[in-house]
Amino acid sequence: MFASMLESMPGAIQLGLLYACMSLGVYITYRILDFPDLTVDGSFTTGAAIAAVMITHGYSPWLSTACAFVGGAAAGALTGLLHTKGKINALLSGIIMMIALYSINLRISKLPNLPLIKYETVFTHISPWLLMPIFVIVVKLLLDAFFQTDLGLSLRATGDNARMIRSFGAHTDNTKIIGVSLSNGLVALSGAFVAQEQGYSDQSMGIGMIVIGLAAVIIGEAIFGRRTVFWATLSAIVGMIIYRVVIALALRVPGFKPTDLKVITAVIVIFALVIPTAQRAIRQKRLARRRSAELAAALTGSSAGGDR
């Protein structure tokens, strides 16, 4: 069993790199904008569908991948417009767009499953092991640079305190739309890469992506924290790789089946959410006990001084 676990590591790390852009996209909405965006489940498939259709029609794999990013960004922009201009709740806006994308994705691909095995993809002449680390690092550094610009700082401030930013004359509606659009563009980009690596685009491949992305972000933050944007984006990438490794190890444990994947994902997310909360509660209790002991010692000392 241990040998089989070791054999599954390279594939798990490769999957983590393929899904890394998706976790960066979830980080933008979940942590920076504080926007619970469920569009992710639909836009992931949108990216895969656009890339697959264009590749099967003879277009360049890289052009197809770029168009997948644009398609995902457009879906995110519509979600942002529903929320900001339509005054629809953020969570409901994402649900509406996710439902709409199910039909849109079928319109794009025309088939529930679109094979790519006979066609040239971005991985035909270069291994995912060589391409994905370079690509993910470039995307991470570009995001870090973007978040240091005026627009990026406005986007970060919108998530922290939208009312304060509006008092300075910033258009928070625009920053929200840009942020959600960028997030879903990255998610769709990840979907395009996954479709090309696995050799097909499937209508159901986006189900549960938001949960996986949240798990990656939370796991990464538990290890690296959120001190700066550099560490936050790095934690999202590493968190996705760790998540995939944990999933691969769990599926090798006797008794687990591939059909248990969603349950394992749910358990990982529960632990990722509960453990940091429990750690904070333990630290607060320790701090409270320490302060109580210091206060008791101070009162004891003052009482002894009064007796003298």
In tens digits, the chain (308 residues) has pLDDT values of: 555 556 668 888 999 999 999 999 999 999 898 888 999 999 999 999 999 999 999 999 999 999 999 999 999 999 999 999 999 998 999 999 999 999 999 999 988 889 998 899 999 989 999 999 999 999 999 999 999 998 888 888 887 777 777 766 667 888 999 999 999 999 999 999 999 999 999 998 988 899 889 889 988 888 777 778 889 899 999 999 998 888 888 777 777 777 777 787 778 778 777 877 787 788 888 888 888 888 888 877 766 655 54
What are the backbone angles phi and psi of residue 233, rounded to the nearest 5°? -70, -35
- Secondary structure of the chain: what % helix, strand, coil (to 5)? 80, 0, 20
Q: How far apart are the C-alpha atoms of 112 and 203, rounded to whole Å?
A: 5
Report helix, strand or coil for 112.
Answer: coil
b or e along 288-308 (b: 16 or more beta carbons within 10 Å of the residue's beta carbon)? eeeeeeeeeeeeeeeeeeeee
Q: How far apart are the C-alpha atoms of 180 and 172, rounded to whole Å?
A: 12
Residue 93 has what pLDDT? 93
pTM of the model: 0.86
What are the backbone angles phi and psi of residue 114, rounded to the nearest 5°? -125, 105
Give the other-Cβ count within 10 Å of 76's Cβ.
32
**DSSP 8-state code for residue 115:** E
Crossing angle of the two packed helices 229-252 and 209-224, in degrees rounded to 10: 120
- What the block records as the tokens of 3 is 């040998």
* Residue 242 near residue 212, CB atoms below 8 Å: no
Query: What's the gap between Cα 215 and its chain centre?
Result: 8
Q: Name residue 106's amino acid.
A: L
Residue 2 has what pLDDT? 55
Q: How far apart are the C-alpha atoms of 113 and 106, rounded to whole Å?
A: 9
The HSE-up count of residue 245 (CA atoms within 13 Å, CB side) is 12
Residue 168 has what pLDDT? 66
**DSSP 8-state code for residue 117:** T
What are the backbone angles phi and psi of residue 74, rounded to the nearest 5°? -65, -40
The HSE-up count of residue 242 (CA atoms within 13 Å, CB side) is 20
Q: How far apart are the C-alpha atoms of 188 and 54, rounded to whole Å?
A: 14
Q: How far apart are the C-alpha atoms of 200 and 62, rounded to whole Å?
A: 16
* Residue 235 near residue 223, CB atoms below 8 Å: yes
